[in-house]
Structure 1
Amino acid sequence: MRRSSDYGGQPIRRGARLAFAVAGVCTATPLLAVTVGHEMSLAAAERAQARALTGALTRPGPACPELARAEFEARHRPLKNVFDYGGVAFARRFGHADCTMIGRSEPGGGEAYPVCRFTAPAVLRVTPDRGRAVIFEVGVGRAARVIVRDGRVRCVLTGPFGFS
């Protein structure tokens, strides 16, 4: 008969070992099931939220008026609010910007691409990593959304001020 390594040296009975093992399995199985179920529901909720965000950010609208580079240089001073996001350079005259990457959270969703919202930029210059600069004259007090996908730049007007 084996002895345990505790101080009392009491024998461990075969039935007691089996009872401890069964109790451990019975306790761990429901906890594991609850944890896995919770993680799966969080992942599903995250995918649904990503789909809703993608739909909101890629909603169509009227196109922003494009401005030729020569016309921009003749009428406007250089843009001072410049930043890079997702390999794209953005410049604006006024307002605030909020950017996110779309497309990578869905399985098989393809390449991620940047979508940026601007509160009241007046003028926007967007330069993809391997492309020419595109300049948009949004107008003062107008909000805009810019999508850069596969090197193509798209700008849509979204209304006065605020994010939509």
Structure 2
Amino acid sequence: MARDYGGVDLPRWRRGQRGLFLRHWISQILLVGGFLVFAALPTAFAISGGFHSDKPNFETQAPGPPCREIGEAEFDRGWNDPPHRFSFGAATFARRRGDADCTARAPGGVGPAFATCNFDAPWAIAATFDGKTRWWSVAGGYSATVDARRSGLTCRVTGKFHYYPGT
């Protein structure tokens, strides 16, 4: 009995084999490419600024005028409900109206961090740090930033408040 395994020529493509070969390699390339794009999304999202890239960045804004300092009696005058109080780091904050967004920052990225809170249209703000309490008034429709540094508490008006729907 004799078997013939073909000649010395290179094998030829059989009918439909080229299509299967191309389909296999194209699907592999698309699969790996899709994984690479999916893996790169978090980095691209962080670089782009995320969802809130249209919001003003309070860290890079020029500091505005100082907030008007008031007393505790004026902070409580005319309000029936208690102020919204919260603590962040070693500081305690209270506000009348608006929202707050706090972060810990270090000047120039070096040194001890301090608490910074951005208030959206707060009307009145109180802050306690190192046993000292200060109260400020902010004109209606304006935002403010309060820093709780070792040197003391400071409040600055950062500009007109702009509402960003969906945030």
TM-score, normalised to structure 2, is 0.56
Deviation digits for residues 77-125 of structure 1 (CA, Å, limit 9, x no counterpart): 364211100111111011111111001883xx11100111011000000
Whether the 8 Å contact between 2:97 and 2:121 is mirrored in structure 1 is yes
Whether the 8 Å contact between 1:54 and 1:102 is mirrored in structure 2 is no
Q: Give the match for residue 131 of structure 1.
A: 131
C-alpha separation in 2, matches of 1:154 and 1:90: 12
C-alpha separation in 2, matches of 1:61 and 1:161: 13
Q: Give the match for residue 140 of structure 1.
A: 140
- Could you say what secondary structure the match of 2:67 adopts? coil
Structure with the higher helix share, 1 or 2: 1
For 1:53-92, what aligned pairs fall within 5 Å after superposition? 55-56=59-60, 59-73=62-76, 75-77=77-79, 79-92=82-95
Q: Which has the larger radius of gyration?
A: 2
- Could you say what secondary structure the match of 1:63 adopts? coil
Whether the 8 Å contact between 1:79 and 1:92 is mirrored in structure 2 is no
Structure 1 residue 159 displacement after superposition: 1.3
CA RMSD of aligned residues (A): 2.8
Whether the 8 Å contact between 1:104 and 1:110 is mirrored in structure 2 is yes
Deviation digits for residues 31-75 of structure 1 (CA, Å, limit 9, x no counterpart): xxxxxxxxxxx9xx99xxxxxx79526x421000000224434x3
Whether the 8 Å contact between 2:58 and 2:118 is mirrored in structure 1 is no
For 1:1-164, what aligned pairs fall within 5 Å after superposition? 55-56=59-60, 59-73=62-76, 75-77=77-79, 79-103=82-106, 106=109, 109-128=110-129, 130-162=130-162
Taking a change above 3 Å as real, the CA distance of residues 162 and 145 of structure 1, as seen in their structure-2 partners, is farther
Whether the 8 Å contact between 1:126 and 1:135 is mirrored in structure 2 is yes
C-alpha separation in 1, matches of 2:75 and 2:108: 37
C-alpha separation in 1, matches of 2:99 and 2:127: 15
% same residue: 35
Structure 1 residue 160 displacement after superposition: 1.5
Gaps of 5+ in 2: 1-42, 48-56
* Paired amino acid for 2:145: R
**Number of aligned residue pairs:** 109
Gaps of 5+ in 1: 1-41, 47-52
Q: Give the match for residue 17 of structure 1.
A: none
Structure 1 residue 146 displacement after superposition: 0.7
* Paired amino acid for 1:98: D
Whether the 8 Å contact between 1:81 and 1:91 is mirrored in structure 2 is yes
Taking a change above 3 Å as real, the CA distance of residues 162 and 131 of structure 1, as seen in their structure-2 partners, is farther
